[in-house]
Amino acid sequence: MRTKKLIIFAVVLTILISFFIISLASAEDVWVRGYFRSDGTYVRPHYRTYPDGIPFNNYSFPGNYNPYTGKIAPGNPSTYLERYYLKPYYFKPYYLRP
């Protein structure tokens, strides 16, 4: 009887650990629905990394592997960081009038 309880406990524990690991892995990706840009270009639905403000864990950061495309992102890390931190929406001079 004790052996049966031990086996049941081990199975339940394995299932719980599996669900925990799967939830950790999937928490880092976000599904983006397709949309139209302001210039009329359609962007197809895709996965992207969770928006946490850290550029180094993005799939597009040079040298990082994208598991959905199977490719390693090309480019220069310094140039990527310059463009990442100097995106137009980070600097919006609201005090200027057109």
CA dist 80 and 69 (Å) reads 19
Q: Is residue 16 part of a domain?
A: no
Question: Within a domain: residue 3?
Answer: no
Residue 95 in any domain: the answer is: no
Report if residue 29 sits inside a domain: yes
- Domain with 52, as residue range(s), is 25-90
Per the listing, tokens 């990706």 go with 29
Residues in the chain predicted with pLDDT less than 70, given as ranges, are: 19-27, 87-98
Q: What is the tally of structural domains in the chain? A: 1
Q: What pLDDT does residue 18 have?
A: 72
Predicted confidence at residue 13, as pLDDT, reads 81
- Identify whether 97 is part of a domain: no
What pLDDT, on the 0 to 100 scale, is given for residue 92?
44
Predicted local confidence at residue 85, as pLDDT: 84
Residues contacting 28, CB < 8 A, separation 6+: 49, 50, 57
